Amino acid sequence: MPDVRNQALLPKGEANGLAAIADELIKDPHRLRAALIIFDAKRGTEDYDLADTVVTVRVRRVETLLPTDLSAAETMIRRALEFRSGQTTLELELEDEIRKTFESMKDPDSTDDPDEGKGGQGGKGRKS
């Protein structure tokens, strides 16, 4: 299966909805947020020795989600994971991870770390 990379550049101007929250990102860099992206493939690089292709995606538009849309986004991400994995029900650990992640976005002042126990750094409860 080909590998996928994200091009580091975001769209310029009006298409970059993250620019509107730049101050929030600086103020609270570890807070989880959700966004919608529209993307395409910028290029593909094939390694003939390894018989592998790496596709680089380009973000065409990004918009942060409103807090009132997080429940719908949580449902959509579950459905997409179920479709991609072929599972009609996700594993309990994955269900819990998704639930905790979206709960932390709904309540950004929570001290619960959605990556706790996974060696992650997300959430406000992270110790510096």
pLDDT number for residue 74: 92
pLDDT number for residue 88: 81
pLDDT number for residue 125: 42
Query: How many of the other CB atoms lie within 10 Å of CB of 120?
Result: 13
Q: Is 81 exposed, middle or buried (0-12, 13-18, 19+ CB in 10 A)?
A: middle
* Residue extents of the structural domains in the chain: 1-64, 65-110
Q: Which residue positions in the chain have pLDDT lower than 50?
A: 118-128
pLDDT number for residue 91: 84
